[in-house]
Chain A
Amino acid sequence: MIREVVTDVLLGLAALTVVLSSIGIAVMPGAAAKLHYVTPAAVVAPVLVTLAVFVREGLDSNTGMTFIALLFLVAVSPFLSHATIRAIRARSENDLGDPLPRLVPGKPSSGER
């Protein structure tokens, strides 16, 4: 009984985190502001889901697979966010000094002023 209640609470918090993050992405202006709302869904919610599976199943293969998937998710999310904000900044300012050939005629590549 206690396990079910704890599982339900953890899953409810995870779902609430995802819902609020999605609303934040839809409402906030600009990609940089929206990107802040990816982090709770990529870091907080996976931990809650993993805990919920652990509370229900204990230490077994299901918990292990969930842990691997969501650990990878938590680990790579900051790198992906960093790359994304770097790309957004490069698009907006063109100041990263990246001398790549332009593929779209008339559009400066990143690095060109």
Chain B
Amino acid sequence: MTAFVIAAIVMLAALVPAGVTLVRGELADSVVGYEFISTVIVMVLALLAEGFGRPGLFEFPVILAVLLFGGGLVFVRALERWL
């Protein structure tokens, strides 16, 4: 198990407090928790791709990083206008 995999596991474990905030917090808190978790997941995917030596998996963090922006904006606009 390389340092990259260990770092990915630590980051996944670190999502628990933010996940609790996402589940139990108010709506605005949940959006913040969602942004944090999706940001960290991008790094976790890159770390796992490097840790397992699978160059093809590096496409996932790139795609997620692009989708993160659009998805986050959709959430905050809905939060601002309708929720």
Check A62/B58 contact, CB under 8 A, given A26-B18, A49-B46.
yes
The answer to whether B14 touches A46, judged by C-beta atoms less than 8 angstroms apart, is no
The answer to whether A14 touches B39, judged by C-beta atoms less than 8 angstroms apart, is no
Count class of interface residues, chain B: 35 or more
A8 to B13, CA, bound (A): 18
Question: Given the complex, which residues of A lie within 8 Å of B4, measured CB to CB?
Answer: 11, 52
Question: Which residue of B29, B66, B76 contacts A87 across the interface (Cβ within 8 Å)?
Answer: B76
The answer to whether A69 touches B46, judged by C-beta atoms less than 8 angstroms apart, is yes
Question: Given the complex, which residues of B lie within 8 Å of A79, measured CB to CB?
Answer: 69
The answer to whether A80 touches B81, judged by C-beta atoms less than 8 angstroms apart, is no
Binary A-proximity of B51-80 (CB < 8 A = 1, otherwise 0):
000010011011011101100110011011
A31 to B32, CA, bound (A): 7
Question: Given the complex, which residues of A lie within 8 Å of B11, measured CB to CB?
Answer: 14-15, 18-19
Question: Given the complex, which residues of B lie within 8 Å of A52, measured CB to CB?
Answer: 3-4
Question: Which residue of B17, B76, B82 contacts A25 across the interface (Cβ within 8 Å)?
Answer: B17
List 5 A-B residue pairs with CB atoms under 8 Å apart, sorted by A's residue number: A21-B36, A79-B69, A83-B72, A84-B31, A84-B35
Check A110/B80 contact, CB under 8 A, given A34-B21, A38-B35, A69-B62.
yes
Q: How far is the CB of B53 from chain A (nearest CB, A)?
A: 9
Residue ID in chain A nearest B32 by CB atoms: A34
Check A73/B32 contact, CB under 8 A, given A22-B17, A66-B46, A87-B80.
no
Check A26/B17 contact, CB under 8 A, given A62-B50, A73-B65.
yes
Check A25/B18 contact, CB under 8 A, given A15-B10, A18-B11, A31-B32.
yes
Q: How far is the CB of B48 from chain A (nearest CB, A)?
A: 11
